[in-house]
A and B are shown apart, each in its own frame.
Chain A
Amino acid sequence: KQEVTQIPAALSVPEGENLVLNCSFTDSAIYNLQWFRQDPGKGLTSLLLIQSSQREQTSGRLNASLDKSSGRSTLYIAASQPGDSATYLCAVGGTSGTYKYIFGTGTRLKVLA
């Protein structure tokens, strides 16, 4: 059974810091991995999608990497801003031939001005 873990559960950093969020999964037979942000009481906003054949994806200040063999992904946020404060979720798709996503419990990020 696929299990997805995100560490740390919560993180508080001063504005301007570069930071790394971690996501690990137990079954490496995935088709893709998607990172989301979620603001309190809101839906999920897609940040980056990495297909299993890719090693990384970049969008603006965000960079996500994927190492399938070790069951790990990282989300790198450069020059953090207070507006980055949110919960960040990773989801893996395609385990056991299913199209559903399995989510981690998220990392709650607070960027202090």
Chain B
Amino acid sequence: DTGVSQDPRHKITKRGQNVTFRCDPISEHNRLYWYRQTLGQGPEFLTYFQNEAQLEKSRLLSDRFSAERPKGSFSTLEIQRTEQGDSAMYLCASSLSSYNEQFFGPGTRLTVL
């Protein structure tokens, strides 16, 4: 257990539905990252927060994706109008500061039918 928690651990949804995932980082960490991992691939960066400010977004993060970290603590990742191509493991990580070790949560596995 790294101290980063994610909820839910598994989500099965039908195409076109909206889903929301939550990440709770290690309490003193002000950096929070979202990555997406598909089978057989390494994780790909989605977005990054420093406290409540979203500082970087990948081109992978289409208009259907939105992420928030309202009070600089937990974060949510919402996918609207899900597509089958959104099926993946969504990973959250946190770090104490820039260029420090990133600690990953257990991930949320999304299956879109």
Stretch from B11-19, B67-75, B78-86, B98-106 forming part of the interface with A: B98-106
B65 within 8 A of A: no
Contact in complex: B42, A106 (CB < 8 Å): yes
The minimal Cβ–Cβ distance linking B90 to chain A, given in whole angstroms, is 11
User: Is the contact region of chain A dominated by helix, strand, or loop, or is it mixed?
Assistant: strand
**Residue on B nearest A98 in the bound complex, by CB:** B56
Cβ contacts A54-91/B at 8 Å (1 or 0 each):
00000000000000000000000000000000000101
Contact in complex: B106, A102 (CB < 8 Å): no
CA A51 to CA B64, docked complex, whole Å = 36
Q: Which B residues contact A (CB, under 8 angstroms)?
A: 2, 4, 6, 31, 33, 35, 40-45, 48, 55-56, 58, 91, 93, 98-107, 109
26 A-B interface contacts by CB (under 8 A): A32-B99, A34-B102, A41-B109, A42-B106, A43-B2, A43-B91, A43-B105, A43-B106, A44-B43, A45-B2, A46-B102, A46-B103, A51-B99, A89-B43, A91-B102, A94-B99, A98-B56, A99-B31, A99-B55, A100-B56, A101-B35, A101-B43, A101-B102, A103-B43, A103-B44, A104-B42
